[in-house]
Each structure stands twice: as C-alpha cells, then as structure tokens.
Amino acid sequence: VGGTEGLARTMSFYSIAIPKYLEYRLHMFRESPDEVWDELDRETSKKGLDKILELRGFYIKSGQLAAANIGNAFPPIWQDTMSVL
C-alpha cells in the first residue's frame, strides 16, 4: 500500500510507537524495577495488538514475528499478547 493510504497507515502506527518508545527509554534511564517493566509491557503490547488488528497486512505479520520471538527480542508478555495472531 502506498500513496496517501500508506502514509496514513504509517502515521497511525507511529502515533503509538514513538510515544511508547520514549516511555521505554525513560524507564531505562530511571532504571525502573521489573514490576514497572511488566506493567509497561502489558499495556504497550495490548495497545500494539489493537493497532495491528486495525492496520492488518504487514503489521499482522510483524506481530506474528513478535509472538514467535524471532531474534529473541520480545519478552514473554509480548509473545503471549501477540500469540492470537
């Protein structure tokens, strides 16, 4: 998907991704405890799943990669949330 529709989909994704990225970086800086990270992962993975289901296509495939933990990059909370894909 390209053109205006592709741009709108990309902007929709990044409207969630960029603020959450900044929130994760803040918690890295603060060296937040595991409980805070777990809650952040639960909240963010749920918002991510909702956005993936809205956008479909490439985003669903990306969520499936998270569920399969390709590259060992995703915590168990993310894997569990994305497993519905």
Instruction: Give per-residue pLDDT as tens, 64-74.
Output: 999 999 889 99
pLDDT in tens, 7-46: 999 999 999 999 999 999 999 999 999 999 999 999 999 9
- C-alpha to C-alpha distance for 40 and 37, rounded to whole angstroms: 5
- C-alpha to C-alpha distance for 56 and 43, rounded to whole angstroms: 20
Q: Is residue 55 within 8 Å of residue 12, measured between CB atoms?
A: yes
